[in-house]
Amino acid sequence: MSEIAAGVMAPAFTMPASGGRIASSAALQGKPYLLYFYPKADTPGCTTQACGIQEALPQLGKLKLEVIGVSPDPVAKIEKFAAKFGLTFPLAADEDHAVAEAYGVWVEKSMYGKTYMGMERSSFLVGADGKVVKVWRKVKPAEHAAQVMEAAKGL
């Protein structure tokens, strides 16, 4: 597992996304973006986080920041989640968790004494040059949008 830190080039990605879109690093060349990983669509923490980001989109847009949410859910589940909460930014399906692994966020988790592999709630702010500017690990959903906005002002 590679540790992605500020200053390194962000790993390339291409994934199917909500709204029939394709989320890809190539399409974002020359633009700053936030790639945020969340464990499961339509769960309380993920909903809080996604809705917070949706609310912040007008301000993030002024900062010319693109946002992509990534989960291991299939596209059909992501589409339902996006429609239910009016999420307009792309939500990408990383079903084989290849992108999560490239970013080091496909990790061993534990619940009720059972260990399993899953998505760590983490975010990566990437500058227009393709380099990681800021990394948030084990994100707190309610605080995330404000943290991103503060960090994006410096881009």
Asked about 51 being catalytic, the answer comes back as: no
Q: Where are the beta strands (DSSP E) in the chain?
A: 14-17, 21-24, 33-37, 66-71, 91-93, 106-111, 114-119, 122-126, 132-136
Marked catalytic residue, from 15, 34, 46, 91: 46
Helices 44-62 and 75-85 cross at an angle (nearest 10°) of: 70
Residue 60 and residue 149 in contact, taking contact as beta carbons nearer than 8 Å:
yes
* Active centre residues (catalytic): 46
